[in-house]
Amino acid sequence: MDALLHRDALARFGHALSDPTRTEILLALRGGPGYPSDLADRIGVSRQILSNHLACLRGCGLVVAVAEGRRSRYELADPRIARALDDLTGLVLAVDPACCPDSDAEGCC
């Protein structure tokens, strides 16, 4: 049972990271909570696009919306997500760029 839960959690995390906009949102929220309009401006997408991606991230259980009157702010659902992103970012920086210059290249993982 634990293996299934771990697999599903990793699949959701992978799905979230598979889109550059969702990755940008997660990285932005790694530094602390944010409001949709501010996040949209920071990332450079429309508010509608950001809203769609936030809905996906909520569905994956990675972010939560916290109501503040008429506004909602978004934050990572668990502080460990920020640590996981830090760890993954560190791994990406350690990868040899000459190994896989194009992510669509044949033989690339």
- Rounded to whole angstroms, the maximal C-alpha distance in the chain is 51
CATH number of the domain where residue 58 is located: 1.10.10.10
> For the chain, how many structural domains are there in total?
1
* β 71-76/63-68 pair status: antiparallel
In a domain, 86, yes or no: yes
Q: CA-to-CA distance for 109 and 92, rounded, in angstroms?
A: 13
In the beta sheet, which residues pair with residue 76?
63
Per-residue pLDDT band for 93 (boundaries 50, 70, 90) equals: low
In a domain, 78, yes or no: yes
H/E element holding 73? strand 71-76
Q: Which domain holds residue 64?
A: 16-94
> What tens digit of pLDDT does each residue of 37-66 get?
999 999 999 999 999 999 999 998 999 999
What tokens appear for 61 in the block?
């259980």
In a domain, 57, yes or no: yes
The pTM of the full predicted model, rounded to 2 decimals, is 0.79
If one compares 65 and 105, the residue with the highest pLDDT of the two is 65
In a domain, 87, yes or no: yes
Instruction: Pick the closest to residue 28 from 10, 18, 41 (CA basis).
Output: 41
